[in-house]
Amino acid sequence: MSTVSVKHHQMFIDGKDVDAPQAFEIRSPATEELVCTIAKGSVEHADAAVESARRAFESGVWSRKPKEERAAIMKRIADRFGEELEELIELETMANGATVRQATGFHCGLAAPHMLYFAEQAESYEFERAIPTKAYPTHSVNTIIREPVGVCAAIVPWNFPLVLGLWKIGPALAAGNSIVVKPDEKTPLSLLRAAQIAYEEGVPAGVFNIVTGDGAEVGARLASHPDVDKVAFTGSTAIGREIMRLASGTVKKVSLELGGKGGVVMMPDADLSYSIDGALFGCMLYSGQICESGTRLFVHKDKYDEVVAKLVERASTIKLGDPTDYDTDMGPVVSARQRDRILGYLDQAKADGATFALGGGAPEGPEFEKGYWIAPTIITNVTNDMQIAREEIFGPVLVVIPYDSIDHAVELVNDSEYGLTAGVWSTDYEAASELAARLRAGTVWINNWHMVDPSLPFGGYKQSGVGRELGPDALNEYTEAKHVHLDLAGRHDRLPFDLLISTPLPE
């Protein structure tokens, strides 16, 4: 009986491949087949990576490299991401179940342009600026210098590992920091390749490290490590609270991009010829496994039945199947644990009296006997206080709730512990903009969804996070502000020393 060997991947620490005695198995979410293994890192590996990152930072090999040289290397990395797009797509989709179309457009296709944006920021960011000041109490020149924080830790989720990883790696490198990245153990492969590419293109050893391991062990160690100066995390709100607690022991800088329960208002004048598809796109892209998905759709009561009928009609055409097939619209969810978690929420929704207009479980058919599948699901008879409307499901589940007036819609959208995203569908741009201004969320999309631009900030209100990623100020999260005061008085009688010492100087 022959056995098919699978590739084993190692970690990347201090410019070298590093193995571990134990390994994780990575299985296809579509077939449950073993596709590869990867080293299971430990606290010792996390410590080694941080030590390497600190050594590289203090040496100045990257932190004191001219910003133009850092930018040139980062541009080469961006070029490589474009050249190796097909390989990156394969590495990402074999582990997280994204369809090849989605991976091309989002999961991996955004890597090169987002990295290029941070490369350009490395050149254009104002690392030093003079601040005009009054002549009182003395004449002086004052400068604000933005310096790299030092060693950064990035803890990255499984849904968009490459792009969400680059949202942390890009600004960290642009600012001159060193970084240790802990990907989710289910989906580390694209980030591992990114670290290797960076090293090949001139990022010095120790500046960009990958440690794969359990979050409770390796992630917790990085968050609490005394030699880590900043931690960036994307994931659930519950884990974000723990990251913040662990980081508080050494008062390190923290940025958190956490959960969401995006509220979407479909105004009575919305053009249903595209807003129906838009609402489904906003909720069910990548099987709903996106923190910023629009999962609560609020529809005016006079349009409710019509909108639900059209949603069901269009969602019924979503083709589930092999994620490597370009014709597939939706693949599996990432794991058995995630599938069972979603099914638990659906069971609770039934118990609470909600109605399933479409879906409500696993799809039928022999092709779905293996893998982790959830059918597109649309739920009605939902009130905003039900669990299904309040907690992040992370699956292809859309709840549709009626509203009476715009004021009522605003109240419903904002009645959430989350505030990551919100949205409006309308043909009246002025009214839609006025409504958007009343929604408490870090991003409000009007007549579209998932439009994440690296030049615009992304992050959440309330329990959806702390800080912002992307945008013109992204490097602020990865730098410290230093004020340097150069006094030009030059004479004792022009200085305020007499506030303490009144005795005149001897002649």
Active site residues: 257, 291
In angstroms, the CA 372 to CA 474 distance is 36
**Would you call the peptide bond into 454 cis, given omega within 30 degrees of 0 as the criterion?**
no
Q: What are phi and psi of 190, to 5 degrees?
A: -65, -40
In angstroms, the CA 271 to CA 278 distance is 10
Check residue 203 and report its DSSP letter: P
Q: E strand or H helix at 20, and its extent?
A: none
Give the sign of the dihedral formed by CA 188, CA 191, CA 197, CA 202.
negative
CB atoms within 10 A of CB 434: 12
In angstroms, the CA 414 to CA 412 distance is 6
Q: In what order do the strands lie in the sheet with 34-39?
A: 7-9, 34-39, 23-27
Check residue 172 and report its DSSP letter: H
In angstroms, the CA 169 to CA 152 distance is 9
User: Helix/strand/coil (H, E, C) string of 407-450?
Assistant: HHHHHHHHCCCEECEEEEECCCHHHHHHHHCCCCCCEEEECCCC
Sequence-distant (≥ 6) Cβ neighbours of residue 238 within 8 angstroms: none
The SS3 of residue 308 is helix
User: Helix/strand/coil (H, E, C) string of 41-72?
Assistant: CCHHHHHHHHHHHHHHHHHCCCCCCCHHHHHH
Residue 162 · residue 98 · CB < 8 Å: no
